[in-house]
């Protein structure tokens, strides 16, 4: 991956944001033994894995990963999770994605989990943009950006050089 001129967050800054979000998740679940980290495939799930690693280092909470598969072009279609409903029922759950843009993916992800009783339901994103068309918010966010509708936020969380940049 080549380094872009319009980098918003570099590798170290992203790691710092992930650590801060993990502490916020811990603080809001300090009395829980287990937290479900439901990451929206693909970058949301990668972010959830990174949050799990940090949570295991900073707390006694058992973070359980759940991959959430949503067709981002047709989010009203069937949503799949990598763990059974019984495994997150009556638990604390954090729905994780890389970028909150229009809110479409996150709101349909929220809708999916609303059919199950949960102790607590929060959302976490690395980048929060201000172009929402749905009333959804990120409870935990790494950075908030005011961008134009024509700009695209790209998040790279694989390899040895994580980046968030504008295209």
The number of CA neighbours under 13 Å toward the Cβ of 137 is 2
With pLDDT > 70 as the criterion, what percentage of the chain qualifies? 96
CA angle 68, 50, 57 (to 5 degrees): 125
pLDDT range class, residue 167, cuts 50, 70, 90: confident
* pLDDT per position as a tens digit, 128-137: 987 777 888 8
Q: Mean pLDDT over residues 89-112, rounded?
A: 93
pLDDT of the residue at 129: 86
* pLDDT per position as a tens digit, 42-53: 899 999 999 999
* pLDDT per position as a tens digit, 52-74: 999 999 999 999 999 999 998 89
| pLDDT at residue 1 tops 60 | no
Domains observed in the chain: 14-59+68-150 (3.40.50.2020)
pLDDT of the residue at 72: 84
| pLDDT at residue 98 tops 70 | yes
Q: What is the largest CA-CA distance in the chain?
A: 46
Distances (CA, A) of 10 to 4, 15, 127: 10, 9, 13
Exposure letters 109-147 (e unless 16+ CB within 10 A, then b): beebbeeeeeeebbbbbbbbbeebeeebebbbbbbebee
pTM of full prediction above 0.95: no
Nearest to 94 by CA among 54, 19, 40: 40
Residue with the bigger pLDDT between 111 and 130: it is 111
Cross-strand bridge partners of residue 80: 69
Phi and psi of 77, rounded to 5°?
-70, 175
| pLDDT at residue 16 tops 50 | yes
């Amino acid at each position: 991956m080549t380094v872009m001129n319009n980098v918003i967050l570099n590798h170290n800054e992203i790691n710092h944001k992930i650590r801060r979000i993990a502490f916020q998740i811990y603080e809001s679940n300090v009395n829980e033994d287990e937290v479900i980290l439901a990451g929206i495939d693909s970058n949301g799930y990668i972010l959830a894995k990174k949050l799990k690693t940090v949570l295991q280092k900073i707390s006694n909470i058992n973070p359980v990963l759940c991959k959430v598969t949503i067709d981002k072009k047709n989010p009203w279609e069937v949503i799949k999770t990598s763990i059974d409903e019984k495994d997150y029922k009556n638990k604390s759950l954090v729905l994780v994605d890389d970028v909150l843009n229009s809110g479409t993916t996150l709101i349909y992800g929220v809708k999916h989990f609303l059919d199950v009783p949960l102790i607590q339901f929060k959302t976490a994103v690395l980048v929060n943009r201000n172009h929402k068309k749905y009333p959804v918010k990120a409870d935990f966010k790494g950075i908030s950006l005011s961008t134009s509708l024509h700009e695209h936020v790209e998040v790279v969380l694989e390899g040895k050089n994580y980046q968030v940049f504008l295209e």
